[in-house]
Structure 1
Amino acid sequence: MDYLEFKITCREEFREILIAELSEVGYDSFLETEEGFDTYTEIDQFDREAFDEIIDRYQEAAQIRVTEMTVKKTNWNEEWEKNYDPIAVDDLVYVRASFHPAQNGFRHEIVINPKMSFGTGHHATTFQMLRLQGRVDHQGKRVLDVGSGTGILAIMAHLLGAEEVQAFDIDDWCVDNGNENFALNGLQIEMGLGTIRSVNPKGPFDIILANINKNVLLDELEVYTSLLKQNGFLLLSGFYTEDVQDLITHCKPLGLDLLSQESKDNWAALVMKKS
């Protein structure tokens, strides 16, 4: 199937805003560049009206320029290899692709060949989720990774000693990529395909990881709570710092209490505990 590729140049301070806005209308594959970012969508799922509305709204303030072209899905891996650099999350974990050399000085290493799945550790939300995972005891725990993308958070859970890890995503491309990454990191599970309601994972879980967007989180919070053990941990990201209070407000009547929060580049991450 052919895809539409949009090369978007914009002012630096608007890059994350535009990525967030586009993720709200169905885009989940982004490649940050020096001048902005590239994003992709299947031709038959492209919503021209929604895309144009976002671009028009920020056009002047963000100084946006858009180049549109049609690409083959199989061309994307080459683009990632040209632009994907390793990352380090403190001394906790070194995230690299298979074409990068290993690096000493880290407690863990994750090998991710991301293709075009979301969640490589470069984005502030994924980076923060990995950091927060390092602060939560995973040893012998049951862990659920919601909207797993490349599978990076599920792999981190496995490395931190989780007894069982379940993961799923709504995108079949992510599922294929995630399963490849699981194999690269010795995680012998299969990623499921679908939403949390259609996959219907069997709880209870000690830890639930959800790095999605705000609207999906608000819609699914009640489901997460029903799958979480008493005193279990819910790690959330995928939203801006100004959205934190809205998330906390929705969590409170569900018996989810805020334990800690982080922010990076105006993106937030929360650790909630089921009381």
Structure 2
Amino acid sequence: MAWIQIRLNATNETAETISDELMELGAASVTFVDAQDTPVFEPLPGETRLWGDTDVIGLFDAVTDMAPVIDALKAMPELAQQMTYKVEALEDKDWEREWMDNFHPMQFGRRLWICPSWREAPEPDAVNVMLDPGLAFGTGTHPTTALCLTWLDGLELGDKSVVDFGCGSGILAIAAIKLGAQSVVGLDIDPQALTASADNAQRNGVEEKLTVYLPKNQPDDLQADVVVANILAGPLRELAPVISALVKPGGQLALSGLLVEQAEELRAIYGQWFDLNPTAIEGDWCRLDGQKRID
């Protein structure tokens, strides 16, 4: 099926209202993208997950007359003074097949490979995670995931317990198990993520070592030797006491999903409990990691 896409520049304050208007005008879907063309995942109902200036992208059936849509948008108070937009036709193609064709095996650190489940592992004797993301985020292609995978590869995880906070596809949880972790708990607010994590764990033969929970169902006394949280800066800020409490004294923590300019604020917050290493940077993104102090 062919589509027409309209892309409008917005801000944190106006993006949600513009999104609602696009849906009222018949958009099949609306996606938020940050000003640096980095995907920001579709928010849950009632949730805004944005930072900085934002583009709002509405997807319409190819037969849609876009002139009334544009007129309605121009009439919005949020866009009345200045409306920057672009309308373009999207080629009718098998997007899922194209994505699959372009998802290749990738190496992280010294030992670890992430391999699409439909391809052969290039190094059969390496630590290979066979991945099918399904409906959940996490393939290793995003710099924040890559930063976390490289960090895990550099740890000695033998006999360690791990919590993957915001487990998505389970990529970090399964990598930790393959790298020697004794047990891993995956937490996510999205039930589809828990399903994807469990499916990928079974695909890799490590399902007995992975337990997944919605946060409301996690054990009250949950703690681990290693905690990794690859989410967004806002939740990392708001949930700092919760995430920090998951780490055993003397344990290791890694935080990602951060833009470089957000690192210092998060460093100050988590520095209350952790001795943090120098910030690891990849492009516009970064990772904070360190050891929890023993009181």
Code of the residue aligned with 1:271 in structure 2: it is D
Residue 102 to residue 229, structure 1, CA distance change in 2 (3 Å): same
Q: For the residues of structure 1 that align with 2:123 and 2:29, how far apart are their CA atoms?
A: 37
Deviations 1:79-120 (A, max 9, x none): 642442322224432211121111128731110011231111
Q: For the residues of structure 2 that align with 1:121 and 1:55, how far apart are their CA atoms?
A: 37
Q: Which residue of 2 aligns with 1:96?
A: 115
Q: Is residue 267 of structure 1 aligned with residue 285 of structure 2?
A: yes
- Give the conservation status (yes or no) of the 8 Å contact 2:109–2:154: no
Q: Is residue 243 of structure 1 aligned with residue 265 of structure 2?
A: no
Q: Is residue 231 of structure 1 aligned with residue 231 of structure 2?
A: no
Q: Is residue 208 of structure 1 aligned with residue 227 of structure 2?
A: yes
Q: Is residue 14 of structure 1 aligned with residue 33 of structure 2?
A: no
Q: Is residue 221 of structure 1 aligned with residue 230 of structure 2?
A: no
Q: For the residues of structure 2 that align with 1:256 and 1:141, how far apart are their CA atoms?
A: 19
Residue 272 of structure 1 and its aligned partner are, at CA, apart by 2.1
- Give the conservation status (yes or no) of the 8 Å contact 1:208–1:228: yes
- Give the conservation status (yes or no) of the 8 Å contact 1:80–1:114: no
Code of the residue aligned with 2:288 in structure 1: it is L
Q: Of 109, 113, 134, which aligns to 2:128?
A: 109
Q: Which residue of 1 aligns with 2:172?
A: 153
Q: Which residue of 2 aligns with 1:170?
A: 189
- Give the conservation status (yes or no) of the 8 Å contact 1:80–1:115: no
Code of the residue aligned with 2:139 in structure 1: it is T
- Give the conservation status (yes or no) of the 8 Å contact 1:178–1:191: no
Q: For the residues of structure 2 that align with 1:164 and 1:54, how far apart are their CA atoms?
A: 50
Residue 76 of structure 1 and its aligned partner are, at CA, apart by 8.1
Code of the residue aligned with 1:14 in structure 2: it is Q
How large is the RMSD of aligned CA atoms in angstroms? 3.8
Q: Of 118, 126, 144, which aligns to 1:125?
A: 144
Q: For the residues of structure 2 that align with 1:101 and 1:185, how far apart are their CA atoms?
A: 13
Q: Which residue of 1 aligns with 2:66?
A: none
Q: Which residue of 1 aligns with 2:199?
A: 180
Residue 162 to residue 187, structure 1, CA distance change in 2 (3 Å): same
Residue 218 to residue 98, structure 1, CA distance change in 2 (3 Å): same
Code of the residue aligned with 1:256 in structure 2: it is F
Residue 239 to residue 97, structure 1, CA distance change in 2 (3 Å): same
- Give the conservation status (yes or no) of the 8 Å contact 1:139–1:161: yes
Residue 5 of structure 1 and its aligned partner are, at CA, apart by 4.2
Deviations 1:56-97 (A, max 9, x none): 9x974xx755779xxxxxx98656424423222244322111
Residue 77 to residue 220, structure 1, CA distance change in 2 (3 Å): same
Deviations 1:141-198 (A, max 9, x none): 1111111011010111101111111112111221111111001112124553423x55
Residue 21 to residue 185, structure 1, CA distance change in 2 (3 Å): closer
Q: Is residue 194 of structure 1 aligned with residue 210 of structure 2?
A: no
Residue 201 to residue 20, structure 1, CA distance change in 2 (3 Å): farther
Q: What runs of 5+ residues in structure 1 fail to find an aligned partner?
A: 29-35, 41-48, 69-74
Code of the residue aligned with 1:94 in structure 2: it is W
- Give the conservation status (yes or no) of the 8 Å contact 1:130–1:156: yes
Residue 246 to residue 98, structure 1, CA distance change in 2 (3 Å): same
Residue 133 to residue 249, structure 1, CA distance change in 2 (3 Å): same
Residue 260 of structure 1 and its aligned partner are, at CA, apart by 3.6
Greater helix share, 1 or 2? Answer: 1
Q: What runs of 5+ residues in structure 2 fail to find an aligned partner?
A: 1-26, 60-72
When the two structures are superposed, what TM-score results if normalisation uses the length of structure 1?
0.73
